[in-house]
Amino acid sequence: MGNDTGGVEGADSGSHQDRRRTQQQNKALHKYFRQLSEAFNEAGFSVMQVMRHDAEIPWTEELVKELIWKTVQQAMLNTDSTTDLDRKQVSEVYEVVQRHLAQTTGVHVEFPTEEGR
């Protein structure tokens, strides 16, 4: 995965704890949720337009997390908690989310890097 999502592809860590997402990844995830919600709002996309709901609801960080990220995460990894993700899984979920959103809405938000915090 080409994005700086803290992935450790090919790494052979000993325990799940060693592979669990880092605090930096957690901060980056929430920054991504916030930035994506802002990008959707700026582009004029309501939750209804992206997620097929009936009411015009503006995007929030929490809606991005719950309706987009966790939906993909659950489908891919059968887990609801972002805390359960390891570093590679953060990268994998991001790639699927971003590819889908770019294709369906044209909205693209890079995963935050350490420098962008």
Q: To which residue do tokens 């971003």 refer?
A: 98
Residue 69 has pLDDT above 90, yes or no: yes
- What Rg, from alpha-carbon coordinates, does the chain have? 14
The model carries a pTM of 0.60
CB under 8 Å to 109, separation ≥6 — which residues? 32, 35, 36, 39, 98
The pLDDT assigned to 113 comes to 84
Alpha-carbon gap, residue 102 to 90, rounded angstroms: 18
Spatial distance between the Cα atoms of 70 and 57, rounded to a whole number of angstroms: 18
Per cent of the chain over pLDDT 90 is: 61
Neighbours of 8 (CB within 10 A): 15
pLDDT tens, residue by residue, 8-46: 333 344 455 567 888 898 899 999 999 999 999 999 988
